[in-house]
Structure 1
Amino acid sequence: MENKSVTRTKQSPRPADEVAREAALEAADRLFYAKGIQGVGMDELRSASGISLKRLYRLFPSKDAIVEQVLLGRHREWTEGVSSAVARETEPRQRLLAVYDFLAGWFTQDDFRGCAFINSFGELGGTSPRIAEIVRSHKDDFQKYLSALTAEIGAPATLAPQLAILAEGAQTTAAISGSAEPARQARAAAEVLIDSALSRPRAGSD
């Protein structure tokens, strides 16, 4: 049998700008979420990230550009988190309810400050069309995801936006109350809505 040697390629170091960009976004995400976007200046971001102002502005043309990238990163994290929670369930009805179980776990985290998208829209939605667009796209994607899950159980299309409103309301209420209870209440309400939707005759049925 022929002997084959395995050659290991030494990984090249990451480009300096990529490392700096990641550090800046990590610091911005943490600060914006904890203190609000308008409560964080570029000087504070410079100190937290360890990146000079000159370099920050070379990596990002404006503070809004940083906010955009932070929100896009949050969108990826949210999508992965919800999808992972749903994937752990095999029964279609439980897959829908897993969304609220995910929320309950998130609400118990020490740094939970509500939905970053709702917070950002409240601060900048009226003055930054791009931020408003990102927020709306994120919420629309979530509702489409719920639509796919409701289709799995044969529920009418009207159920998805109702379940989305429950999830959105739970996030805002939990941020104000500092409790995970809104997730449990939303889950209980979702069960009622799901059962009601499944018990109604479908259009065109006898």
Structure 2
Amino acid sequence: MSDRAADVEQALEAAERLFNARGVQSVGMDAIRDASGVPLKRLYREFPSKAELLHAVLDRRDTEVRSAVTGFVDSHAGSGSPRDRILAVFDYLAEWFAEPDFRGCMFLNTAGELGGTSETVLSVGRRHKLALRDYLAGLVAEAGLPEALADQLMVLANGAMATAALQGTPDAAVHARAAAAVLVAA
């Protein structure tokens, strides 16, 4: 990896960690410099504004989350029934919510913090949520269930994310999974 690529990766990792822990508005480029070890001049060369850095962080997070969800479902329910694969999404959420640094969904949190002032944040968040909805729609189609179920499952998943973040416990994923099981069986 080149020095430039390493600096970009370090900056993205530090920014994601700080934005997740403190929110976007309370984190300045100096804090990202300090946490990443990337000189401020190079940081601004790669990301001319904090908004551009945030966009890159959200794009990266989108890729990571989608890959993590599909990887989890494939490894935990890959040979199971299509209905098992749907419910495995909620098992993924339970594991994610139990992580010590879980602070909620970065897309929901950032949209809540900046959504009224940043069309970019809303656009990236919508794209992410629609991609996950499309993934669920594929699982729903595999199970031969009505397409509208994908939207209902997304509401459950997003509600669980918000609830888990506020309550500080992974229990919301267990409750959302139970509700999803009822919907899938109906």
Check whether TM > 0.5: yes
* Aligned residues with identical type, % of pairs: 50
For residues 18 and 47 of structure 1, the distance between their equivalents in structure 2, rounded to whole angstroms, comes to: 18
Q: Which runs of 5+ in 1 are unaligned?
A: 1-13, 197-206
Aligned to 2:114: 124
Letter in 2 for 1:161: D
Aligned to 1:134: 124
Does 2:91 align with 1:101? yes
Q: Which runs of 5+ in 2 are unaligned?
A: none
Larger RCO (CA under 8 A, 6+ residues apart): 2
- Deviation digits for residues 9-31 of structure 1 (CA, Å, limit 9, x no counterpart): xxxxx322111111111110110
For residues 68 and 38 of structure 2, the distance between their equivalents in structure 1, rounded to whole angstroms, comes to: 30
Does 2:142 align with 1:155? no
For residues 82 and 52 of structure 2, the distance between their equivalents in structure 1, rounded to whole angstroms, comes to: 39
Letter in 1 for 2:34: S
Letter in 2 for 1:34: A
Looking at secondary structure, tell me which structure has more helix per residue. Answer: 2
For residues 21 and 87 of structure 1, the distance between their equivalents in structure 2, rounded to whole angstroms, comes to: 30
Does 2:182 align with 1:192? yes
Could you tell me which of 12, 16, 20 is aligned with 1:33? 20
Structure 1 residue 123 displacement after superposition: 1.4
Secondary structure of the residue that 2:31 maps to in structure 1? Answer: helix
Q: Structure 1 stretches (4+) deviating beyond 4 angstroms? A: none
For residues 72 and 41 of structure 2, the distance between their equivalents in structure 1, rounded to whole angstroms, comes to: 41
Does 2:50 align with 1:63? yes
Letter in 2 for 1:176: L
How well do the aligned residues superpose, as a CA RMSD in angstroms? 0.8
Structure 1 residue 71 displacement after superposition: 0.7
- Deviation digits for residues 11-53 of structure 1 (CA, Å, limit 9, x no counterpart): xxx3221111111111101100000011101111111111222
Letter in 1 for 2:42: R
Alignment length, in residue pairs? 183
